[in-house]
């Protein structure tokens, strides 16, 4: 399942990428490109607005009712629009949704904190925005998020 999130849902877009869902973050105000991209790329539209309504049978629009960004991911899970994957793949840039490339370890030196460089074996870089990631970077984010949403016990199950 692929998504396009409207301008109100930037945090949710990042969290979906963390779970490896292909998610475009659309910052514009005009609703038409949102619908158009949804159709062209088969994306489910996530919106906080109330104005957007499906115009064709293929339009899939999910209206997020939760105000708090920290609870919007939980809303998607509770409504069974997404499920928590047990082992996220950590393959997507959190900032720009691009698939990451693995890079030789020495190329990460100086681009990540020293202790991370010594601790980690595998590094990945976003070909679009050049951010460098490592396995733990996504895992730590996600573990924290899952703790927030479901309490500590669930997060332990996943580790």
Which residues of this chain interact with Zn ion, rule CB under 5 A? Answer: 93, 95-96, 98, 126, 128-129
Smallest separation (angstroms) from Zn ion to the CB of 24: 13
Note the maximum CA span of the chain: 53
d(CA 51, CA 141): 33
Shorter beta-carbon distance to Zn ion: residue 16 or 93: 93
Smallest separation (angstroms) from Zn ion to the CB of 98: 5
Joined tokens for residue 157: 């199950």
CB atoms near residue 77 (< 10 Å): 15
For residue 66, which of 56, 78, 83, 82 has the smallest C-alpha distance?
78
Smallest separation (angstroms) from Zn ion to the CB of 97: 7
Shorter beta-carbon distance to Zn ion: residue 14 or 43: 14
Helical (H) or strand (E) element with 18: helix 10-18
Shorter beta-carbon distance to Zn ion: residue 132 or 146: 132
Shorter beta-carbon distance to Zn ion: residue 52 or 98: 98
Give the up-direction half-sphere exposure of residue 38: CA atoms within 13 A in the CB hemisphere: 25
Joined tokens for residue 137: 């970077």
Smallest separation (angstroms) from Zn ion to the CB of 100: 8
Smallest separation (angstroms) from Zn ion to the CB of 61: 27
Q: Count of residues for the chain?
A: 159
Shorter beta-carbon distance to Zn ion: residue 5 or 93: 93
């Amino acid at each position: 399942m692929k998504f396009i999130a409207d301008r109100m849902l930037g945090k949710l877009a990042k969290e979906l990428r963390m779970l490896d869902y292909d998610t475009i973050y659309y910052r514009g105000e005009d609703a038409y490109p949102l619908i158009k991209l949804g159709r062209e790329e088969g994306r489910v539209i996530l919106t906080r607005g109330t104005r957007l309504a499906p115009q064709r049978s293929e339009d899939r629009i999910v209206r997020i009712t939760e105000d708090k960004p920290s609870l919007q991911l939980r809303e998607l899970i509770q409504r069974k629009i997404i499920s928590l994957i047990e082992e996220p793949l950590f393959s997507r840039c959190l900032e720009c949704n691009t698939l990451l490339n693995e890079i030789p370890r020495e190329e990460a030196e100086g681009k990540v904190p020293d202790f991370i460089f010594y601790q980690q074996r595998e590094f990945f870089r976003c070909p679009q925005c050049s951010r460098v990631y490592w396995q733990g970077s996504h895992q730590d984010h996600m573990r924290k998020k899952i703790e927030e949403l479901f309490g500590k016990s669930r997060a332990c199950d996943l580790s």
